Amino acid sequence: VLTLNTKITEVGEKILASNGKEVNFASALKSCEEAGGTLATPMNEEENNAVLGIVKQYNRYAYLGIKENETLGQFSYMNGMPVNYTKWHQYEPNGKGREKCVEMYKDGSWNDKNCNLNRLTVCEF
């Protein structure tokens, strides 16, 4: 159990975990779903800070479970629901359809990014 303590974070009703691997968005989402969860999706400041703790621990940007939908500049959760909490970095999102995925910076702010880049996998359960 002790070896898992730094790898698993509880926040509210969620459990966050990372395997430490950096992969593209589709692979990150697939590995979270295969484990019975989904990509980490902060719904409030507390959850955002919990994901940030993992980002800082690995010192890597991480994908979030949020994607741009058909309407340019509009982002949704993986279940299709509109995003109601955001923490965009200044002047973001700016991809206008070219950057459909969302990553978390090491300061906890968000950036829209191309989905084929390798980012840290952080899952929620």
pTM of the model: 0.92
CB 83 within 8 A of CB 44: no
Strands (E), the chain: 8-11, 14-23, 38-39, 62-68, 75-77, 101-104, 110-113, 119-124
Domain ranges of the chain: 7-124
List, for residues 10-47, the tens digit of each pLDDT value: 899 999 999 999 999 999 999 999 999 999 999 999 99
Comparing C-alpha atoms, which of 6, 89, 76 is closest to residue 41?
76
List, for residues 68-90, the tens digit of each pLDDT value: 998 888 999 998 999 999 999 99
Q: Which CATH architecture has domain 7-124?
A: Roll (3.10)
Say whether pLDDT at 2 is over 70: no
pLDDT of residue 6: 57
For residue 37, report the phi and psi dihedrals to the nearest 5 degrees.
-130, -150
Torsion 107-115-6-14 (CA) sign: positive
